[in-house]
Structure 1
Amino acid sequence: MKEYWGMLGLLLVTIIWGAGFTASDIALQSLEPFQIMAGRFLLAALLMGVAGFPRVTKITRQEWKAGTGMGVFLFAAFALQTVGLRYTTPSKNAFLTAANVVFVPFIAFLFYRKKVRPAEICGAILALAGVGFLSLERDLRLGLGDALTLAGAVCFAFQIVLTGKAVEKYRPMALNFVQMATACICSLAGLVCSRNVKISFTAGGVLSVLYLGAVSTALTYLLQTLSQRYVDETKAAVILSLEAVFGCLFSVLLLKEHITLRMLAGAGMILSAVLIPEIKWKRRLIGNGVGKGENGGKK
């Protein structure tokens, strides 16, 4: 029963993240990218600090170090994603971001020598083809917004790998607080360097930042951590990849974005690239008698 609640929690996370692409697009109509990120991560860090008090006052040196690394890559990922959204559509931004799952095994191999399976190589090739369908212009150039978003997806992949290693040793609440605080400091530094300190307050911009900080960042990262206690990594990866589908759906419903057949083909390729390695791995385990097998139930 707890596994089903965990799966439901992860599904809720993907829905919230999917709506986050639309919220970011609305916020960009009145605010600059670093203004959005500074407000988002400041609010998230404050909420996580309050939720984790007094544990966040006893963070170890190792937790600070690990959380800081996670926060730097999280900042870079959101910065590239948010700036990229100024030059592309929310649906393309969502599906290109989802490609981060494809990069994870290759980064893990590069730094931790984890074996890359044939299915993951096939997924990478399919994802590359999907990016081509989704983003390449007629002269085979990659649009600026799509290129920035794709670079952000690589940073998200690095953040996922670092998080996976860190949570094996350190407390999730402490790591999340340090991560959000680091991303906030980096965002404030970026805001000062960009000289876009003057803020134009609008109802849409303020509400979007509040949603991104409180719901799409603080709540979702906490909910994801709690949900994955009861759901194995394979199922979690498949569920979280649906973020791109909900991102496209909200973009069509709320922003009236027009979806072309070419975009659907590219999006389908990227989503398939995310799902295929996980599904094949699951089938192989079942074939070897793990999971539902001779014992008649999940181990």
Structure 2
Amino acid sequence: MSFNKITEQASKYNHLEKMTVNQLLTNINAEDKTISLAVEKVIPSIEKLVVQIVERMKNGGRLFYVGAGTSGRLGILDASECPPTFGVPHNLVIGIIAGGDTAIRKAVEFAEDSTTQCWEDLRKFEVNATDTVIGIAASGTTPYVINGLQKCNENNILTGCITCNEGSPLALVSKLPIEVVVGPEFVTGSSRMKAGTAQKLILNMISTSVMIQLGKVKGNKMVDMQLSNNKLVDRGTKMLMEELNISEEKAAALLLKHKNVRSAILNYTNGNR
């Protein structure tokens, strides 16, 4: 089946090498301004997927991102930020990239063309029917991702996808597809640009809304964040000062004692100060 691969269409701009730096930056920015509008159009699709992920996570499920190249790296980025931000285990949201961890920094030739490796990579984590697997591919044609989702479907695992072309093979194999069409790239075919930005925005939306629905945010604060550096300790201290109306000294001592903002709040309000 053929389809219109917008991500590969020619840029609306030409003779880029003749542009001044200001012209380059201005034109790239003009294209970037269109991305959030494209994402807005697919909020209903994102919502359907988030609702399913939350329901399954409440029953012990995990969330997997699978992708190649830029798409794979974006999935790993989002997954890796969930534990420090929301205090969840590292094995709750998992990013997998074609070619393995080496491919995070350096492209692994033809890794994305494998029709079997994605499922093998998922099996290492004992993926099962309680989990959700989201395939990320701007083109929607990456064999590694498509075949991984096909195997997930065969094993009754919920599948979603984030792609930037309508009617792609990836969207067709996904049970809950998200097709965010951002149009041709400033540099023809460079899907790390608008397509990659759109994917990052949607990943932010998915993981953040899922974690809020799972109770990992109180008010608008990251009360379960890991206190892994001085900046975050200071942020946690300020959270306690504001939430409990106490001095900085008391807040710092409370945080030092309980090692977690949520735990500190609960213990303080229960009289364990």
* TM-score of the two chains, using structure 1 as the length reference: 0.31
Q: Which has the higher strand share?
A: 2
- Structure label with greater radius of gyration: 2
Q: Which has the higher helix share?
A: 1
